[in-house]
Structure 1
Amino acid sequence: MGECGAAGDVNSNVLLAPSTGDAQLDKAVWQWLSWDKNQSTRAQVQELLRAGRAPELRARLCRALSFGTAGLRAAMGAGFSRINDLTVIQATQGLYSYLERTFPDLRQRGFVVGYDTRAQAASSCSSQRLAKLTAAVLLSQGVPVHFFSTYVPTPFVPYAVQQLQAVAGVMITASHNRKEDNGYKVYWENGAQVTSPHDKEILRCMEQCLEPWAGSWDESLVESSPLRQDPLQAICDSYMQDLTKLCYHRELNQQSPLRFVHSSFHGVGHRYVQEAFRAFGFPPPIAVPEQRDPDPDFPTVSCPNPEEGEAVLELALRLAEQEGARVVLATDPDADRLAVAEQQQGGSWKVFSGNELAALLGWWLLSCWRSRAPPGAQPCQLCMLGTAVSSKVLRAMAQQEGFHFEETLPGFKWVGSRAKALLEAGREVLFAFEESIGFMCGTSVLDKDGVSAAVVVAELASFLHAQGLSLAQKLTEVYERYGYHLSRTSYFLCHDPGTVQGIFERLRNFGAPRTYPGRCGAFGVRHLRDLTRGYDSSQPGGKAVLPASRSSQMLTFTFQNGAEASLRTSGTEPKIKFYAELCAQPGHRSRQELEAELEQLIQALIEDFLQPAKNGLTWRSP
């Protein structure tokens, strides 16, 4: 068992580093040079010392990583505030200490480790190396590790945790973040991303176990330890078999003339999306050759995030035009998100928002359930989930169709945990989503999954094509039946935490202390929910139904006209995100009228609440 080293312990054999004149910084430098065995990151700190760059050293060494979206995410490079060999070892030692305390059967059940294809030559960091060090910490303490022998989609780790009945798992990935970043994503025994209080306890244990233990640096254990197993083939086979539970029209798929193009955005998705299509009876989709193979530099896109829309889908759209393919599917680098575009009759392309895809997928999965349900079966035991900043179209659908709809806090860690609780209560969860193109079809994986979503969308498109309908036409039918739910999502960049704090505190003290805005431009506010403080003016006693999360900012305004708008900070990037949706009753107003009103609300939201010019915010270019 590893021994927790105090934060002040240092190796007396380390050569004395020149003083910076700051005792706290000198101690941090000494600790880094004592503990870090990666020559590249050691050299980065030594060079900053030689150059006298104390402010940068302080930023790197005197700040620590904290748990954000179910784990750690930051730039790769030297320092306690970055992702590197040492911080991953520290995180895993803390995680091991908490797991040992929590699970008496830890050494019987084991642990899962997966990774994507990110790398940074400047720090000798790669997801594979960081995954090996994660495994080494656990193997050195006698814990069996299911270590994938090659890169996998992020959904494979939570799937494997459940299938193998492991106590937890880690995926090394920064998903769709910029190429300089990496991350450490933790999954609990329930197959969902880790939530409070476990994340806080892991971080507390990590702070008590900063000095690397003997064996923690020994990545060769991944090859030599008898406790290491490779779950790749068994998990891939099982995943594809479970995926067929979502396949309702295999014969139609085999005959469909519809063609698909797929981009894996230089990530891990190509092989697995191809196999998923075969599992559904489709020929494999046409791959975008320039983006098919993993490349951590993401050379063909300005941003490796398919959520950014048509600009980053350019290569896929042009290939689809050449090949006569009407539907483009794009998975992000770790294949847990899915973007979809469809060519319209005039030749233009419609890139669907996450909210629009949720309307289509929710309708589709409910229709498929009905096609197989026994006579007289009622949908009252069925559930669908959406996050608090996502479209309420499923809520409107639930009111008409009789199934249960629930909101969760933003982030799939909340969605997955709630889905698990509903399953344990005897409910069936058909579908869950978040507006940022994250979809959970079924419950084989309790996380967003771009691989399964891609092939389910393909089957939906093929089914509609056989009926003479496009995805866009079906979406209009869905909105005409359940009411138009027109939404807009964007964000502002802000790198100053003080400015961000000031924006939200102004809205909490709007003209008077502890007073929220009563209007936004021409629009009156009916209800206000502040999930940072746990307040909701629509609830008895003002107590919010959803749990408060003081580590992030989130305000939601419900307006007199039925619109809803949320402002929140990102857990992984320097962004203030805004979400606005106008929910209409079926048939009451035209789409054009609703769109004009939504645009008016958004402009008021930006100018009155965010004040970008005054606060120096940079708007994401459309």
Structure 2
Amino acid sequence: MSTPPTTGKIIQWNLLSTLLTKLLLRHFNKLVQEVSKMETPMALSDKINEWLEWDKNEKTRLEVKKLMSSGDNEKLQKLLMSRMEFGTAGLRGRMGPGYSQMNDLVIIQTSQGLASYLRSCNDKSTKQGVVIGFDGRHNSRRFAELSAIAFLQKDIPVYLYSHLCPTPFVPFAVDLFGCAAGVMVTASHNPKDDNGYKVYWGNGAQIISPHDKNIQASILNNLAPWAKAWDTNFLEKHADLQDPLPKVMKEYYSILSENVLDRHCNESSSTKIVYTAMHGVGYTYMVEAFKVAGFKPFVSVKEQQDPDPEFSTVDFPNPEEGQSALDLALQTADREGCSLILANDPDSDRLAAAEQGPGGEWHVFSGNELGALLGWWMLHSYRKKNPTADLSNAYMLASTVSSKLLRSMGKKEGFNFIETLTGFKWMGNKSRELESQGHTVLFAYEEAIGFMCGTSVVDKDGISAAVRVAELIAYLDQEGSTLLKKLNDIYTEYGYHISLNSYYLCYEPPTIKRLFDQLRTIGGKTNSYPDSILDGKYKVVSVRDLTTGYDTSQPGNKAILPVSRSSQMITFEFENGLVATLRTSGTEPKIKYYTELCASPQQQDKEKLHKILREMVDAICTEFLKPEAFGLKARPT
């Protein structure tokens, strides 16, 4: 009979068993890691071979080969193992080799996908055709030409602009020629290394779902370049290739001229205006716009007049950045004795403006301030031209993060106001829907200095908006007033609506998600949001989360506006009238915040209102966004 093991021996045996198990697990995990390392290069190797087979651009091929030679598998993995996803903004990103960047091959694949999708869902596309425009960025013309080849190979006629053009000229041409779609090659105001591919549908508005998802699926089904994909000679004297520019110039400026309210007023205006194209496409087109509207020639910022893909005089070619982007325009205005500055972004779909005060100081108008001024002017002009018109049939629109001043104006004046999701794709499509129902759309805008004056272009248009601002200042000249005075008159009549908007930079998507998830799960509970700031001094009365569809102001807490789970967007409304929206950008690594204090006409102490706004915004940033805790970088100054 064997002797039972002692307690000490049992302990020793258990320790030995545990140690052996750990060693075996460690060895097994090491083997798994080694196999994993072997598998990744094999998959990556296939992608490298695929790229080198399909890509005929020697520059991008060489960059991939250099990465291969240096053994930089990590970089190759990022470039080739994931691809840019086509969304409602189309494509936009850094130029360079690989499926995750903008380049010839990605443009070919995208255009093949779009062309195939058009043929599948629109049997008239082979007669209607597509419009293709491009801006002055590096590779824009080439991307446009490669796009044209794809459509022509699918027997879809192409209206390809012969020269770089403003983005609004593409949707205008879609309407003018009755096209099935339009493509604009532009990255708008992004840094110089970026480019983009923006798509318009047959109604002249930017695409919305489900087209974006369907186009993405079609791209994935048409990745291999077609027979003539790289043959730019294919475009020469092609019967189905036309230049839309001459007819577009004639029709666009004819409509612009027809919409002028008082030509004599424009001709007699004493205001001297400086204009900057911000190294973009706008100068030539703005010269023509001022001419047909009856204005005296403007003073151009020479250093920024011609297209320059390097954007050599500005760090960020975006007039929305304010004075930092308008330095040369301000210097030119002071030197030339001008009191008004108008500025387009590089593709001329946005407009910024600044006015000199009596003491020589300059006021750069925010997008919301310009939206208030242009909204008032479009209403004034409509009434002058249609004195018996029923305003109950008229509409103005603004994005949900823009000022609510148009809503206040509509309540008093009798027109309708509609709020949409952020982006002109929503306002453009909504405008077309309203028009189809027999309504009149006077104006739409978003706070990011995008303005739609009328519906000859159902997208933001910096050319026509500049003419409307110039008209307004000419009118105010006769009244002995200024833009800033008129803005204060508007506030006096409809209530002060003062805004403070900015952003933080965050390059880590998981951090952004964690930040917003914490905001919507206070105390670990779902749909539990902050109920106040500054220890209860300012209380939250409603919350709308358009990421999850939760809205405390609606029956059943269900949001009315469309929900997008791929982006973050939460709006807080406070008891004192402040509305604050926190959202991510679809094209930039930004967490943006939009705040507006909506006061009644009886609240006239503007200084006090600004103090309250500043106090609340500081608290929202500190308590909600927590920049230090999440490592957020403040907007560059």
Which of 37, 50, 54 pairs up with 1:35? 54
* 1:69, distance to aligned residue in structure 2 (A): 4.8
Partner residue in 2 for 1:247: 260
* 1:220, distance to aligned residue in structure 2 (A): 2.1
Q: For residue 24 of structure 1, what is the amino acid of its counterpart? A: A
Taking the aligned partners of 2:57 and 2:333, their CA distance within structure 1 comes to 45
1:48-63 equivalences in 2 (<5 Å): 48-63=67-82
Partner residue in 2 for 1:26: 45
Q: For residue 473 of structure 2, what is the amino acid of its counterpart? A: A
- TM-score, scaled relative to structure 1: 0.95
Which of 599, 605, 608 pairs up with 1:584? 599
1:395-474 equivalences in 2 (<5 Å): 395-474=407-486
Q: Contact 2:88–2:212 (CA<8 Å) still a contact in 1?
A: no
Q: For residue 429 of structure 1, what is the amino acid of its counterpart? A: V
- Partner of 1:220, secondary structure, is helix
* 1:25, distance to aligned residue in structure 2 (A): 1.7
Taking the aligned partners of 1:286 and 1:326, their CA distance within structure 2 comes to 11
Q: Does residue 516 of structure 2 align to residue 501 of structure 1?
A: no
- Partner of 1:310, secondary structure, is helix
Taking the aligned partners of 1:42 and 1:615, their CA distance within structure 2 comes to 39
Partner residue in 2 for 1:485: 497
Taking the aligned partners of 2:496 and 2:40, their CA distance within structure 1 comes to 63
- Partner of 1:185, secondary structure, is strand
Mean Cα deviation higher: 62-71 or 91-100:
62-71
Name the one with the larger helix percent.
Answer: 2
Taking the aligned partners of 1:294 and 1:608, their CA distance within structure 2 comes to 44
* 1:465, distance to aligned residue in structure 2 (A): 1.3
Partner residue in 2 for 1:140: 153
Q: For residue 409 of structure 2, what is the amino acid of its counterpart? A: M
1:197-596 equivalences in 2 (<5 Å): 197-375=210-388, 377-514=389-526, 515-521=528-534, 522-596=537-611
Q: For residue 247 of structure 1, what is the amino acid of its counterpart? A: V
Q: For residue 440 of structure 2, what is the amino acid of its counterpart? A: E
Partner residue in 1 for 2:99: 80
Mean Cα deviation higher: 584-593 or 441-450:
584-593
Q: Does residue 625 of structure 2 align to residue 613 of structure 1?
A: no
- Partner of 1:511, secondary structure, is helix
Partner residue in 2 for 1:5: none
Q: For residue 285 of structure 1, what is the amino acid of its counterpart? A: F
Q: For residue 518 of structure 1, what is the amino acid of its counterpart? A: D
* 1:218, distance to aligned residue in structure 2 (A): 1.8
Partner residue in 1 for 2:7: none
* 1:588, distance to aligned residue in structure 2 (A): 2.0
Q: Contact 1:364–1:460 (CA<8 Å) still a contact in 2?
A: yes
Deviations 1:504-537 (A, max 9, x none): 1111111122112212333211111111112211
Taking the aligned partners of 1:248 and 1:41, their CA distance within structure 2 comes to 52
Deviations 1:402-449 (A, max 9, x none): 100000100111110001101111110100000000000000000000
Partner residue in 1 for 2:183: 170
Deviations 1:273-305 (A, max 9, x none): 110111110122111100000000000111100
- Partner of 2:267, secondary structure, is helix
* 1:21, distance to aligned residue in structure 2 (A): 5.4
Q: Contact 2:88–2:209 (CA<8 Å) still a contact in 1?
A: no
Q: Pick closer, same or farther for the CA change 1:69–1:298 going to 2, 3 Å.
A: farther
Taking the aligned partners of 1:31 and 1:382, their CA distance within structure 2 comes to 55
Taking the aligned partners of 1:249 and 1:321, their CA distance within structure 2 comes to 29
- Partner of 1:501, secondary structure, is helix
* 1:245, distance to aligned residue in structure 2 (A): 3.3
Deviations 1:192-228 (A, max 9, x none): 0010000110001111111111112222222231110
Query: What runs of 5+ residues in structure 2 fail to find an aligned partner?
Result: 1-37
Taking the aligned partners of 1:526 and 1:490, their CA distance within structure 2 comes to 23
Taking the aligned partners of 1:564 and 1:259, their CA distance within structure 2 comes to 37
Taking the aligned partners of 1:187 and 1:461, their CA distance within structure 2 comes to 33
Taking the aligned partners of 2:79 and 2:272, their CA distance within structure 1 comes to 49
* 1:266, distance to aligned residue in structure 2 (A): 0.4
Taking the aligned partners of 1:275 and 1:85, their CA distance within structure 2 comes to 33
Q: For residue 261 of structure 1, what is the amino acid of its counterpart? A: V
Q: Pick closer, same or farther for the CA change 1:608–1:68 going to 2, 3 Å.
A: farther
Q: For residue 495 of structure 2, what is the amino acid of its counterpart? A: G
* 1:589, distance to aligned residue in structure 2 (A): 4.2
Deviations 1:561-594 (A, max 9, x none): 1110001110111111000000000022411111
Which of 85, 93, 98 pairs up with 1:66? 85
% of aligned pairs identical?
50
- TM-score, scaled relative to structure 2: 0.92
Taking the aligned partners of 1:614 and 1:246, their CA distance within structure 2 comes to 52
Q: For residue 36 of structure 1, what is the amino acid of its counterpart? A: D
Q: Does residue 119 of structure 2 align to residue 107 of structure 1?
A: no
Which of 141, 153, 161 pairs up with 1:128? 141
Q: Contact 1:20–1:54 (CA<8 Å) still a contact in 2?
A: no
Taking the aligned partners of 2:78 and 2:405, their CA distance within structure 1 comes to 44
Taking the aligned partners of 2:219 and 2:49, their CA distance within structure 1 comes to 19
Taking the aligned partners of 1:566 and 1:362, their CA distance within structure 2 comes to 22
- Partner of 1:384, secondary structure, is strand
Mean Cα deviation higher: 23-32 or 403-412:
23-32
Mean Cα deviation higher: 565-574 or 510-519:
510-519
Taking the aligned partners of 1:339 and 1:20, their CA distance within structure 2 comes to 53
Which of 82, 100, 116 pairs up with 2:135? 116
Q: Contact 2:342–2:351 (CA<8 Å) still a contact in 1?
A: yes
- Partner of 1:297, secondary structure, is coil
Deviations 1:333-364 (A, max 9, x none): 00000000000010010000000000000111
Partner residue in 1 for 2:22: none
Taking the aligned partners of 1:66 and 1:243, their CA distance within structure 2 comes to 37
1:79-98 equivalences in 2 (<5 Å): 79-98=98-117
Taking the aligned partners of 1:223 and 1:606, their CA distance within structure 2 comes to 56
Q: How well do the aligned residues superpose, as a CA RMSD in angstroms? A: 1.1
* 1:20, distance to aligned residue in structure 2 (A): 9.2
